[in-house]
Structure 1
Amino acid sequence: MGQVSSRKDFDWVEIEEPHKTRRKLILEAHPEIKELMGHDPSLKYKVTIMVLVQLISAYYLRDSHWSLILVTAYCWGGVINHSMALAIHEISHNMAFGHFYPFANRLFGIFGNSVMGIPYSTMFKKYHLEHHRYQGDEYLDVDIPTKFEAIFFNRTLTKLIWVILQPYFYAIRPLFIRPKPITSLEIINFTFQFAFDVIIYHFFGFKSMMYLIVGTLLAMGMHPLAGHFISEHYVFKDGFETYSYYGPLNLLTFNVGYHNEHHDFPNIPGCKLPLVKKIAPEFYDNLPCHNSWVKVIYEFITNPNIGPYARIKRRNNNNVLGNDKDE
């Protein structure tokens, strides 16, 4: 079973999350960073190409052996679908068409979501912006594992299982921590996704449909790209709650590894986040960071000091949420 986690609770703090303060200091020192704010005009083309590539791949795999489908889903289709999930992350911040066209961004997110096989885009958007506004809040940040997860998955073997099942916890956790009414956009997302899956099944076959769905689930669990889920906010060094990753996999993930930079400036598209670090190195070079998502996963599983409890949390101070709206 491996060593039992040495952590018995989350790291509770009274101070506010660090990004608001650092954002203010950076803008005072480097006001030119404001010029990086805006959307990514190339995003819509990249997403469209990924959708087309997945459709072509699914078509050519329609009569393949299951072993080839599984290997291809993990090594190829899953990589594209994980990249698509991070494109949807960009779209949730209105990076496809800009902040003046939120509805166009929502519909485009649903379009990109299609090849993932599982409805994801609108539900992700509904909770993700709260993760930015209320980072670490005991009730409002559903990115943090539940107490059940932290207690049950506290050994090497159970943490391995947790990593494999990570997409399921990521999807189900908000429904238990902070359930919200179903929105009309979610209904559209679910309906469009169901219709898309039926069309793939009808014209390409069951294997093609499973190639898309299985690839999504595999790449969100025990997969090198999935290391970003752990690297972003799990405490690897006491006192630090957000970590950037500066390795090559940023090329496949819309620079989500630049996570301190992203939380400092969520209105700057991923394609420009490296420029934030380049312009203001004095604010980032001394922060602990990661250089390998594979190493992050390995250390999370094997190190008893790291696990689902290794997150910074804040007591809810009667935060009053406004209506969910786009940034």
Structure 2
Amino acid sequence: MAKLTSFRWSDNPEPHKARTKEIIQKHPEIRTLIGRNPYTLLVILLCVGIQVVLSYFTKDMPWWAIFVVAYLVGAFACHTLYVCVHECSHNLLFKNRTLNTIASLIANLPQVFPSSISFTKYHLKHHSFQGVEAVDADMPFRWEAKLINNAPVGKALWLLFYPVFQALRPLRLTKEIKIFDAWTVVNWIIQIAFMAAVVYFFGAKGTVYLVASFFFSIGLHPLGARWVQEHFLTHGDQETKSYYGPLNTVNLNVGYHNEHHDFPSVPWNKLPKIRKFAGQYYNTLGYHTSYTVLLFQFLFDKKISVYSRMARDNRGKKKAEKATGTTETVSEQE
């Protein structure tokens, strides 16, 4: 089978704005779901506490046990914190933007690397310009896709080092976002101080536990299949898929991705109600029910590669606005 050599290009706008407008017209009750969930802060504190406690206990464990605990426990806690940072980026905890930013800094602590502030900057661009290479940091680089393509070993390495690729992508958004600002500096200072304390009090093993948890949480792990689930073309030309499986219970409904893109101002605990209210729109779309199955499908199905993404140029944004008559049907919360 011939290798893919480019992304799949579309002249159509991303699908979410038009669908949002149609759904909200037929199901205005969905507007009642828009709001915030301040109790997400308790989830953040719980997961941060779990990671700090396990970092302490792993300092006396054999090396093999550290990686087992990181894979089976730490990855889940760390991924949930990643989702919490995502909620903060949409201001879905508090009305005050600064409080959301502070909450994201707390959630970032066990994730080792300072990333919560930069994530907020580029993630909101992803919602507005889905698939536009120059603006959407969720889109792989062309060299990245060419390097990995569809070989199982290459795709496994891509997932293993996904945090590295993800960290490089925002660099192409320098014309769109300010990479460094005061909050970014604060993020770096807090993160360096926290990790210095971990190294000092918990030593090498406690530190390695946190690093391994982070890499597993968004890398070569069933949880890493989330990146394939969300926007890889695993169901024809459908560029956004949801996941309706058991891990939504521990990962704050992060799988409801079509629902989230359609209504980004609805907090995680109410996302399933969107599907309940407007099931005729979501039940007919392709979706996944197992991250483990999807992980192996991605690794060994040669029809799927890092090129399996829908790409578009900036005209997609203009067409979307023309089609819907608005730039934001359900706007981001201020």
| TM-score category of the 2 structures, normalised to the smaller one | over 0.9
User: What is aligned with 2:230?
Assistant: 232
Contact conserved, 2:244 with 2:255, CA < 8 A, in 1? yes
Q: What is the distance in 2 between the residues matched to 1:183 and 1:92?
A: 16
User: What is aligned with 2:49?
Assistant: 52
Runs of 4+ in 1 over 4 A off after TM superposition: none
Q: What is the distance in 1 between the residues matched to 2:294 and 2:316?
A: 34
TM-score of the superposed pair, with normalisation by structure 1? 0.93
The 1:143–1:114 alpha-carbon spacing in structure 2 relative to 1, beyond 3 Å, is same
User: What is aligned with 1:84?
Assistant: 81
What is the CA-CA distance between 1:238 and the residue it aligns to? 2.2
Q: What is the distance in 1 between the residues matched to 2:139 and 2:236?
A: 17
Counterpart code for 1:132 = H
Matches within 5 A, 1:57-136: 57-98=54-95, 101-136=96-131
User: What is aligned with 1:173?
Assistant: 169
Give the 3-state SS of the residue equivalent to 2:205 in structure 1: helix
What is the CA-CA distance between 1:73 and the residue it aligns to? 1.3
Matches within 5 A, 1:269-280: 269-280=267-278
5+ residue gaps, structure 2, are: 319-331
What is the CA-CA distance between 1:34 and the residue it aligns to? 0.5
5+ residue gaps, structure 1, are: none
TM-score of the superposed pair, with normalisation by structure 2? 0.91
Cα deviation, 1:64-113, whole Å, max 9, x if unaligned, reads 21111111111111211111111111111111213xx1111111100111
User: What is aligned with 1:157?
Assistant: 153
Contact conserved, 2:248 with 2:255, CA < 8 A, in 1? yes
The 1:291–1:318 alpha-carbon spacing in structure 2 relative to 1, beyond 3 Å, is closer
What is the CA-CA distance between 1:318 and the residue it aligns to? 10
Matches within 5 A, 1:1-327: 5=3, 7-98=4-95, 101-154=96-149, 155-175=151-171, 177-179=172-174, 180-317=178-315, 327=334
Q: Report the identity percentage.
A: 37
Contact conserved, 2:256 with 2:272, CA < 8 A, in 1? yes
Give the 3-state SS of the residue equivalent to 2:311 in structure 1: strand
Q: What is the distance in 2 between the residues matched to 1:140 and 1:276?
A: 28
Aligned-pair RMSD on alpha carbons? 1.7
The 1:251–1:221 alpha-carbon spacing in structure 2 relative to 1, beyond 3 Å, is same
Q: What is the distance in 2 between the residues matched to 1:318 and 1:231?
A: 22
What is the CA-CA distance between 1:315 and the residue it aligns to? 1.5
Counterpart code for 1:162 = W
Contact conserved, 1:4 with 1:156, CA < 8 A, in 2? no
Give the 3-state SS of the residue equivalent to 1:235 in structure 2: coil
Q: What is the distance in 1 between the residues matched to 2:219 and 2:115?
A: 16
Mean Cα deviation higher: 212-221 or 271-280: 212-221
Mean Cα deviation higher: 301-310 or 274-283: 301-310
Contact conserved, 2:118 with 2:179, CA < 8 A, in 1? no
Cα deviation, 1:161-189, whole Å, max 9, x if unaligned, reads 212221211112222x2234311111101
